[in-house]
Chain A
């Protein structure tokens, strides 16, 4: 397991990682989710020992590795770009870290073969990387990480440069590949859906800080702050200001509804709500009782789902629904919101319930 205690990183006066503590366990994926520049790669580099920490400590299996060089940490790193040794065959590429470790020849062959079989690289072992497709090159890099059986495996957006469908297939195989191995697996991604598909635990990152950490499905359903809800949403989560008076909540654009339970118990005043795009329906649906008269700005279709971006008052909202819906861009359309699915936050985005 990897433990970070108040670890931070700075370059000159700019702080890339603010003091962060995290405990990452083997046996499941640990996903770092955030936009480009949120600090995912910086955090991975700290853990891998590629950059020095400005303060704090890093422990691996209880051992303080803060000052230990990358070579001595026994880790693997798979990068977004396909990094392989161009002059070596696939076999030699996978075997290289084992050779460095001084492993016996027969054991190397066994391990390479096993890793190659898992990643379906068997027939390509004698080829050079430039003769392979992008997907095969990245699988070679993954096989190298698997064969090494290192203490920690860092995957920094490993699928970002692959074709959409290939990404889908590899994403499905990944959790299986690393299950049953003792390594701590850390996976950085900028796509919320990828985090959900990989499962395990997720750390939501923004501005060099971890906004929330926990079981992936759990933090998706219970964001602790508006920031966390925003990071974990694609298309972007809808957020708006409401004024709560008694049991009535009202949007600036005039729509109102009755609130219940914990929200009703809040003091009267101004709050922020956040609601996911798939809880805004294009037609009346069970529970979706609040009608929102929006002006359709943009529509999108992805296979079985369609989304519409619409203007409501001064805000821009998004609805995502199953099936194909004939929106007309530039025309008004009535959308329906399920108010029980709203997250309610303080005006500064912090938790109130």
Chain B
């Protein structure tokens, strides 16, 4: 187990990258503590898989260094980095039994038979697969196959880091939460440094102590799940996390005050910078309807069972609200109230308000 440092990392798939657009990964500089659970979250093509491959050694970065504790491993191949990885599709050695699959990484490293046995039994017990140990792995269901893939990652106790690359892609929705929670439980028991790559916010937020949100090769925010939800540093984070995502409303800054469709809106705190176009961000959870609010018309209501998502338009600016109680009718005129301490201004995508504490 190790602390992982990525120092001034950049990567391009072109041999002679010209502009910043040629970089699949732009300037990354982070440190991950030993034993932590981290997630890389972003849409496909955001560079998260590139970053993962650089950490595992399948890819050598164009610039920068990768350190495990204080050891520079940038140019080491995967098998010398002492890492484990679980892939999107389960990788199973078809001809072996479940037991031999789990024992494989240990056998290759010349671990003694009795030690192999105790490790395999312990991991099998954690994964609830003890009763399948003697079956051929080729005959398992996809979720069990993926469990075995995870087991191979966890069976060695000397790994620096265990990486998961969208491991729940092929798992049925009703089995996903079981594996999701299994992973969390495993981390709490094994306490290895783990990195989890996904485009699914629930998986990322459930699993990780710290989530790294990426977009177009850039890290836009690193934070705890609660920080990312409460105070997104970038409109992309607001939009990407939460469902539905944060309302990002085109507004204006005039004499230090924020205006939405000509109406003054109270923000969480003072806005830095000069007057001009801004974006006002507020989550649907913090939008209510009532007297005295911004005049709007209800355009659509989606009944999601445990609550309703009400869509309204302030002038021609659409806004969504998550409402648990009584809901207005479609077509009715309503007042929209934005919870002040949850209403923020963004400029060029980045947070521009100061928090009042």
A adjacent to B, CB under 8 Å: yes
Give the shortest distance, in Å, between B191 (CB) and chain A (any CB): 14
Interface string of A152-180 (1 = CB under 8 A from B): 00000000000111101000000000000
**Shortest Cβ distance from A135 into B: residue:** B44
B205:A193 contact, CB within 8 angstroms: no
Per-position contact with A for B206-239: 1 when CB-CB < 8 Å, else 0?
1000000000000000000110010000000001
A199 touches B302 (CB 8 A): yes
Question: Is A133 within 8 A of B285, CB to CB?
Answer: no
Question: A164 touches which one: B180, B199, B225 (CB < 8 A)?
Answer: B199
Q: Are A300 and B45 CB-contacts (below 8 A) given A165-B239, A199-B303, A322-B285?
A: no
Q: Does A268 contact B (CB under 8 A)?
A: no
B305 touches A196 (CB 8 A): yes
Q: List B residues 312-327 near A (Cβ within 8 Å).
A: 322, 324
Answer whether residue B245 sits at the interface, using C-beta atoms and an 8 A cutoff: yes
Cβ-defined contact, B229 with A304, below 8 A: yes
> Whole-angstrom distance from the CB of B223 to the nearest CB of chain A?
13
Contact B44 A134 (CB under 8 A): yes
A residues in contact with B174, CB < 8 Å = 35, 190, 234, 236
CB distance from A258 to the nearest CB of B (A): 25
Chain A hits for B245, CB < 8 A: 165, 168
Instruction: Take A217-B303, A276-B306, A298-B181 as given contacts and tell me if A303 and B205 are in contact as well, using a CB distance cutoff of 8 Å.
Output: yes
Nearest-neighbour CB distance to chain B for A216, whole angstroms, equals: 8
**What is the CA–CA distance of A36 and B44 in the complex, to the nearest angstrom?**
25
Give the distance to chain A from B239, nearest Cβ to Cβ, in Å.
7
Let me know if B205 and A301 touch, CB within 8 A. Answer: yes
- Count of chain B residues with Cβ under 8 Å from any Cβ of A? 37
Residue-by-residue, is A280-320 near B (CB-CB < 8 Å gives 1, otherwise 0)? 00000000000000000111111110000100000000001
Query: CB-CB < 8 A to B335: which residues of A?
Result: none
Specify which chain B residues have a CB less than 8 angstroms from the CB of A192 in the assembled complex. Answer: 305
Which residues in A have their C-beta under 8 angstroms from that of B304? Answer: 193, 196-197
Least Cβ distance of A237 to chain B in Å? 11
Contact across chains for B229 and A298 when beta carbons are under 8 A apart: no
In the complex, B264 has a CB within 8 A of chain A: no
Closest to A329 in B: B188
* Residues of B154-191 contacting chain A, CB below 8 A: 172-174, 177, 180-181, 184-185, 188
What residues on B are CB-neighbors of A309 within 8 Å? Answer: 181
Neighbouring A residues of B44 by C-beta, 8 Å: 133-134, 163
Closest to A300 in B: B206
Chain A residues whose CB sits within 8 angstroms of the CB of B305 once the complex forms: 192-193, 196, 217, 220, 276
> Which of B202, B240, B283 is close to A302, meaning CB atoms less than 8 Å apart?
B202
Interface mask (B37-63 → A, CB under 8 Å = 1, otherwise 0): 000000111000000000000000000
User: Does A83 reach chain B (CB closer than 8 Å)?
Assistant: no
Which of B205, B304, B305 has its CB near the most chain A CB atoms (within 10 A)?
B305
Interface centre among A216, A302, A320, A322 (most CB of B within 10 A): A302
B283-A304 in contact (CB<8A)? yes
Contact check, A302 vs B243: say whether CB atoms are below 8 A apart.
yes
CA distance A303 to B244 in the complex (A): 10
Determine the chain B residues whose CB is within 8 A of the CB of A164 once the complex forms.
Answer: 199-201
Q: Considering the complex, give the chain B residue whose CB is closest to the CB of A309.
A: B181
Q: Which of A297-353 contact B (CB under 8 A)?
A: 297-304, 309, 320, 322, 324, 329
Known: A164-B201, A165-B239, A217-B303. A304 touches B285 (CB 8 A): yes
Nearest CB of chain B from residue A249's CB, rounded to whole Å: 23
B188 touches A36 (CB 8 A): no
Q: Are B45 and A303 in contact (CB under 8 A)?
A: no
A235 is an interface residue with CB less than 8 A from chain B = yes
User: Does B241 interact with chain A (Cβ within 8 Å)?
Assistant: yes
Are B205's CB and A302's CB within 8 A?
yes
User: Which residues of B are found within 8 Å of A165, using beta-carbon distances?
Assistant: 43, 199, 239-240, 245
Q: Within the assembled complex, what's the spacing in Å between the Cα atoms of A134 and B240?
A: 18
> Residue on A with the closest CB to B184?
A298
Q: What B residues does A197 contact at CB under 8 A? A: 302, 304
- 15 A–B pairs (Cβ distance < 8 Å), ordered by A: A35-B172, A133-B44, A163-B199, A165-B199, A168-B245, A190-B172, A193-B305, A196-B304, A216-B303, A300-B181, A302-B202, A303-B229, A303-B242, A322-B285, A324-B226
Q: Closest 6 interchain pairs by CB?
A: A298-B181, A302-B202, A303-B242, A300-B206, A278-B306, A301-B205
Q: A163-B44, A168-B244, A168-B245 are known; give 15 further A-B pairs, CB within 8 A.
A: A35-B173, A165-B43, A165-B245, A190-B172, A193-B304, A197-B302, A217-B305, A234-B173, A300-B205, A300-B206, A301-B206, A303-B241, A304-B322, A309-B181, A320-B306
